[in-house]
Structure 1
Amino acid sequence: MTIAANSSGLLNFTYQGESLQTWYKLVGDLSSSQTPLVIVNGGPGAPHLYVLPHTLLHDQRGIPVLFYDQVGSGQSTHLKGKSAEFWSVDLYVAELGNLLSLLGISDNFDLLGHSWGGMLVQEFVIRRQPRGLRHLVLADTLASMEMYIASVSKLLRAMPQELQDAVKKNEEAGTTSSKEYQDACTVFYQKHLCKLDPWPKDLAEGLAALEEDPTVYGAMQGPSEFTVTGTLKEWSILDSLHLIATPTLIINGADDTCQDSCVGPIFHKIRKAKWVQFAKSGHTPFWDEQERYMQVVGDWLCDTF
């Protein structure tokens, strides 16, 4: 399949008998001499909008950058009536493999996974052992949901007591859609998700789209970052991290929801790994410290190993 430079479109994908479509957006030209970078964004269930700053890697380095909306988000197929079991790691590993194959880049590509996207990328690399993968970037992600829950709980305990009380009260009452609960989440996210004020338009619109159709997030994560009740609750890949042989750049922010307790095990278990922390960032250093972030990631991707 030949993909025109700076194009977007839909790719057919079949999973468990369902005919699905994955929307993609290419910035740059796949026929260039540069290895293309596939951005696997987080959520789960968020569209690609909030990771659009990575287009700077093309503007500054000439790297072709490929974004896509995972099934259940953005301009890809939505299936609001599906049970929670359908929204699985298996689904998204298969979708990523299908995307790489149909776009004809499976023999030469880089991967950057952010947040849930980093979890997915780790699963993909460990399961598929892709020979064409040159560089790996794991940004603001985790290898154990248990560790992530502990990390977020610790950050929540450091917030004002009235915010903690609002979270606890509404979660116990099952009123997590209330304004009080959502306002508490906003205060937390302004410190630990993105520290810019106001939030950038693409980030705000991406999160708004997630709220508009919370099917995937609710099924896999739960009502919020504080309370994980979905299919990822017991997720861990700690025992398999040693199987990642690709040179890996690991990133987190000092105020990240993915604190060092989440990121450290990834760094220590992957053989060829480098860890960079952004001192003035939350969960999105590509917004909070954009210039340095693009320098660090661009240098990594342009290195030869």
Structure 2
Amino acid sequence: MTLLTFRFAPSPNGELHLGHAYSALLNRQMAAQAGGRLLLRIEDIDITRCTPEFEAGIFRDLEWLGLHWERPVRRQSEHFAEYQAALDRLIAEELVYPAFMSRGEIRAFIAETGKRGRDWPHDPDGVPLYPSLDKALPARERKRRIAENMPFAWRLDIETAMARVSAGLSWAEFTDETMSATRAIEAQPQDWGDVIVARRDIPTSYHLAVVLDDALQGVSHVVRGQDLYSATGVQRLLQELLGLPQPRYFHHRLILGPDGRKLSKSFKDTGLAALRQAGMSPRDIRRLIGF
């Protein structure tokens, strides 16, 4: 019998806060209830912001909370070759294209469109969709720009990608922490437009790395915050395109700050290290987050 596998996957680009504590403790609880495994994964593809100091802080905070996990820990920065192989496959199948427009060019294009009375579409996070004019560039022009080291990102051609998958793309979502019932959620990856799947200097993005990591680690249950609910549609699409297994999902409630917004690593007063230094105990933390 295959053990159910859960994972907690923070990024070492800041200190863990109360929201991370809730997600980590919930993953541990659900794994224990299911008699399953709990993995810790370090999502450090952002090599400019992620540091060894923040990573050490993650281990320190989780150990203080009383969490234990299997070793060795998977670090995304050690697996760029695996992500590159998946990216090469998407390139070969013409599912992605090099996108050269800068942020300034995107803003200017959208502003000009607005002058003509057209409302530009936005993704679920409120970010304007990429104009995707680069899809019309001839192959020769693309190669010339790449050869001249023009900055670009690999973007998923959402229209082509959706045409490759079977109808009725969905995912299985648990209705609560007991995992006693699930419901089918219709995936809407097209709401995100032509999302970035890799950078020129880093052969992956969050979306591409997370689906590969979950598959390679045998993750059966993804338990994470409600803020990633809509992004699941993009990840389900990538799983289908790459022939990866589909985990089951549970998107838990968010721990909000005093202003009602979701917590950020920039909110020092809700950081676990600061709360520990202020004299709080792990029991105080659990009570504070209603756990």
Alignment TM-score > 0.5, same fold: no
Task: Find the structure with the greater CA-based Rg.
Answer: 2
Specify which structure has the bigger relative contact order, considering alpha-carbon pairs within 8 angstroms and separated by 6 or more residues. 2
TM-score by length of 2: 0.32
